[in-house]
Amino acid sequence: MCSARIDPTFILKALLEGADGVLICGCHPGDCHYVEGNYKAMRRYPLLKKLLDDYGIEHERVQLEWVSASEGHRFAEVVDRMTEQVKELGPCRVRTALDFDMAER
């Protein structure tokens, strides 16, 4: 699947349903099978970060990385780094915060 297919609502849904982090990986810019799909993902990413701010979610929980299919070692490094960052952040509490907010209403 192309990184351009990743809708910000997919990310928010994953976090709301219990994911502690989301890693989006795509082809390197200029190497997209769909010509400009990764550029679309690149343009959406800042908008996604704004949504994360609105929900009080740390930016480190969602990351965008360019990794080709031939870069297995790099992919493993990216996953290890993100896993460590998410462990340091602890569980994502956005679901708890939203549940509390809804209960107050």
Instruction: Please say whether the dihedral angle defined by the alpha carbons of residues 67, 70, 74 and 76, taken in this order, is positive or negative.
Output: positive
Question: What does the block give as tokens for 38?
Answer: 């990764």
What is the predicted pLDDT for the residue at 45? 92
The percentage of the chain sitting over the pLDDT mark of 90, rounded to a whole number, equals: 48
The model's confidence at residue 71, banded by pLDDT at 50, 70 and 90, is very high
Tokens 């400009």 identify what position?
Answer: 36
What is the predicted pLDDT for the residue at 15? 92
**Secondary structure (3-state) at 33:** coil
Task: Write out pLDDT tens, residues 32-70.
Answer: 777 788 888 888 999 999 989 988 899 999 999 999 889
Residue type, 8: P
Query: Which residue segment(s) compose the domain that 13 sits in?
Result: 3-104
| Ramachandran angles phi, psi of 23, nearest 5° | -110, 120
Total structural domains within the chain = 1
